[in-house]
Amino acid sequence: MRNGIKKSGSLALLLGVLATPQASALTLEDLAKRLDALEAKNKQLIQENSQLREAVAITNDKVEAAVIATESIADSTSGIQKLADWADKTTIGGYGELHYNNLSGKGGASDKDAIDFHRFVLFFGHEFTDDIRFFSELELEHSIAGDGKNGEVELEQAYIDFDLNDNHTARAGLFLLPVGIINETHEPPTFYGTERNPIEKNIIPATWWAAGAGAHGELGAGFSYDAYVHSGLNVDDSFSVRGGRQKVSKAKANDPAATARLKYTGIPGLELAVSAQHQQNMGQGLVAGLESGNLIETHAIWSTGPFTLKALYAAWNIDGSAVEAAGADKQEGFYIEPSYRLSEKFGLFARFNQWDNKAGSNSGAAKDSEKEQWDVGVNYWPHEDVVIKADYQYQNNDNGEEQNGLNIGLGYQF
């Protein structure tokens, strides 16, 4: 019916056209033929349009299916882990840092003019199930390890975490102790200064790891905890805490130690933490006049806008007649570090450090044992995971032995 109306209308139009002189040569038969041709063309176009619509719908379905397939691959794996299904559960990471030190010694201290690939670290992790994970950190220090070489190959982490539920996790193996700011998080782009601060080197002997077991988790309201029983130090008669790290290498296990930490991060930009450690015997019972020891560490980090302020205090209290006589029964230090982020790529910092590994006495070998160091410098991040550092260190030690000068570093993490 609709076609009939269209046809009548078209015929009327054509009859009108016939009245014009130009169209007078066309016959009704010619017009009917043309009309038939137009109708045939129209029918063909309608058919083609219908076919195109069907094709578009099929293509849409195909695209949707392809996208879903692509997304499922992308969701399940990333990067190199796409290689195999098992690799989906395996993670690889790492960090490294190259240091250049140009320090002038005075008061009997040596000069230091050296370039050193201080740390090359690889992380390997594997998720056995949703609730059981392995994590490890393997480090090469000072580029070359071996007899007579400067470096060491060290296994700094190798533990298994067992999730007990969403908030609590048990841990066993070889792990970093929860003390201080950089002992657990020390990738170069995360801190200022080419060299790590001297308090977390000489009082907290970072990087500090032990073998043992315990748990960590959340307590709610921004509080979290860590609690472990682990292998202890084996300090010799020099009473150097740093020298007492056994690194879980055929370590003496006569006397264990325990460490606990309570941390508050309930306000963005704020971290408050306190750690306590008890060593049953600092020398594993092998050093006369050296007995138990306790470490207390507390720190605060406050970031607001481009400003960050870090402050840390750590102190040892060690029992024993020999260690007391040497003045090493108290070893303590603190640092305070304000920094300012000029932009995403640049940051400035200053740090004041003061420490004393023989703070228990001020006579004999323990006289003039207090040390101070100022650091000022800049970090430049060309990428969020790559950093170039430059800083100047100035020491003011009671014994007059000082190393002052420039440090430059290059670091990365992935």
Partner 1 sequence: MKCILLFVAAFFFQAAFAKGVYQTPDAFLNQVFGGNIPPLSSVWLTKDKKEVISRFLQHKPSFIRVKYWRNGLKTVWILNEVGKEKPITVGIVIESGKIQQLKVLTFRESRGWEVKHTFFTRQFDNVGINQEQQLDKHIDGISGATLSVRALKKTARIALYLEQQL
* Least Cβ distance, residue 181 to partner 1 (angstroms): 7
Show the beta-strand stretches assigned E in 146-190.
152-163, 168-176
Give the residue, chosen from 50, 60, 167, 321, that forms a contact with partner 1 under the rule CB under 8 A. Answer: 167
**Helix (H), strand (E) counts: the chain:** 4, 16
CA dist., res. 70 & res. 75, Å (int): 9
Radius of gyration for the chain, computed over Cα atoms and rounded to the nearest angstrom? 37
Closer residue to partner 1, CB minimum distance, 24 or 78: 78
Closer residue to partner 1, CB minimum distance, 29 or 75: 75
Residue 142's SS3 state is: coil
Binding mask 244-283 for partner 1 (x = CB under 8 A): ---------------------xxxxx-x------------
Look at the block and give the residue holding tokens 């060491």: 152
CA dist., res. 385 & res. 180, Å (int): 22
Q: In which element (H, E) is residue 247 found?
A: none
* Least Cβ distance, residue 248 to partner 1 (angstroms): 22
**Quick one: which of 120, 123, 100 has its CA closest to 112?**
100
- 115 strand-pairing partners: 100
CA dist., res. 110 & res. 392, Å (int): 17
Q: Is the peptide bond before 207 cis (omega within 30 degrees of 0)?
A: yes
Query: Which positions from 364 through 383 interact with partner 1, judged by CB under 8 A?
Result: 383
Q: Where does this chain touch partner 1 (CB under 8 A) — which range of 24-32, 178-186, 205-213, 332-340? A: 178-186
Interface with partner 1, residue 304, by CB under 8 A: yes
Interface with partner 1, residue 88, by CB under 8 A: no
Closer residue to partner 1, CB minimum distance, 71 or 111: 71
Interface with partner 1, residue 91, by CB under 8 A: yes
- 32 strand-pairing partners: none
Interface with partner 1, residue 389, by CB under 8 A: no
Interface with partner 1, residue 78, by CB under 8 A: yes
Interface with partner 1, residue 294, by CB under 8 A: no
Give the residue, chosen from 2, 4, 20, 75, that forms a contact with partner 1 under the rule CB under 8 A. Answer: 75
* Least Cβ distance, residue 219 to partner 1 (angstroms): 11
* Least Cβ distance, residue 205 to partner 1 (angstroms): 20
Any alpha helices (H) in 77-205, and if so which ranges?
199-202
Other C-beta atoms lying within 10 Å of the C-beta of residue 154? 19
CA dist., res. 50 & res. 112, Å (int): 82
Interface with partner 1, residue 133, by CB under 8 A: yes
**Backbone dihedral angles phi then psi of residue 341, each to the nearest 5 degrees:** -90, 105
Q: Are 228 and 213 in contact (CB under 8 A)?
A: yes
* Least Cβ distance, residue 187 to partner 1 (angstroms): 9
Give the residue, chosen from 139, 184, 255, 375, that forms a contact with partner 1 under the rule CB under 8 A. Answer: 184
Binding mask 317-356 for partner 1 (x = CB under 8 A): ----------------------------------------
Binding site for partner 1 (CB under 8 A): 67, 70-71, 74-75, 78, 91, 93, 125, 130-131, 133, 135, 161, 163-169, 181, 184-185, 190, 218, 222, 265-269, 271, 301, 303-306, 383-385
